Amino acid sequence: MEHKKVFVIDLDETLCHIELLPHENNRWDYQNATPFLNRIEKVNSLYEEGHKIIIDTARGSVSGKDWYKDTKNQLHSWGLKFHILRTGIKFPADYYIDDKAIKDSDFFK
């Protein structure tokens, strides 16, 4: 199946909110992330329209922990529709520069 367009979407603080656990060396509390349901609805609409959805997260890129299974289960529990989930591959950074980038707050208006 050929998709109309491909959307690569960040997870944490884009599709959900996560907290730092200061008492655990500032580890992110991925297990208790809270979904932004209105944003998930928009992504699901894109999926239903025939676009390819890739969820891209840095979870595990620093710690080396494999977050794939936990994250996949979490996304399914939220009802998020996607084709591909990538974990631990993204480079953690403060800025991502790309000629096709859209700021999350603009995209999810």
Q: What is the pLDDT of residues 27-70, one digit of tens each?
A: 889 999 999 999 999 999 999 999 999 999 999 888 889 999 99
Q: Find the DSSP H helices in the chain.
A: 37-48, 68-78, 104-107
Query: Which is higher by pLDDT, 87 or 90?
Result: 87
Residue 24 has pLDDT above 80, yes or no: no
For residue 77, the model assigns a pLDDT of 98
**pTM above threshold 0.75:** yes
In the block, residue with structure tokens 């730092």: 20
Q: Which of 14, 78, 76, 86 minimizes the C-alpha distance to 54?
A: 86
For residue 108, the model assigns a pLDDT of 93
Structural domains of the chain in order of their starting residue, each with its CATH number: 6-107 (3.40.50.1000)
At residue 94 the predicted structure's pLDDT band, cuts being 50, 70 and 90, is confident
Mean pLDDT over each residue of the chain, to the nearest integer: 91
Asked whether the beta carbons of 55 and 80 are under 8 A apart, the reply is yes
Query: Which is higher by pLDDT, 79 or 102?
Result: 79
